[in-house]
Structure 1
Amino acid sequence: KVRFVANDNKKGDSSPDYFIKTGQCDLGVAWHAESEGDTPRKYIKVLLDDPSFATPVNAALFEHDGNADLVWSRQKHERKSN
């Protein structure tokens, strides 16, 4: 199970709102955020990082009908031609 643990000791505005954990392992951090545009939508901005990942994963967690949808996209790397 993955859990979001509230950061009760925030040092400033840029400090994460949550620590993301599984068991005793730290998986990342998250912040409250709001989308831009005519109809702003609240979501949680997620940064997942693990030594097994090539790069950290940026994602967004949206509430939808009582469930949570985690949305992310893979970074596109330019392929080198030989």
Structure 2
Amino acid sequence: MHLTHNILLGLLAVVFLTSGALKLSGNPKGLQGTRDVNIGDRIARLIGLVEAIAAVGLIYAIRYPEELIGWLAILVLWIAMGVAIYAHSK
């Protein structure tokens, strides 16, 4: 179970780190999803920064599972994805 947990955390970290990096870089493909729902590029880059920092928190949680940082990273990503679902459903 512990190995599966670490693998899933690692995969999520890679996905969110990649997504955040694309938004931070200003890549048109990375910003296209936010542009489709009329979110400005500055806000999209802020979202990318939050995703990237939370991904680093997930990586930290793999190494130090007893620390609170991993749980905070998961909570931040849950909130970010909830806001994304709301924004895309408008």
Q: Which has the higher strand share?
A: 1
Task: Please indicate the TM-score interval, normalised by the length of the shorter structure.
Answer: under 0.3
For the pair shown, the structure with the greater C-alpha radius of gyration is 1
Q: Per chain length, whose mean CA-contact separation is higher, i.e. which structure has more relative contact order (CA < 8 Å, sep 6+)?
A: 2
When normalised by structure 1's length, the TM-score is 0.22
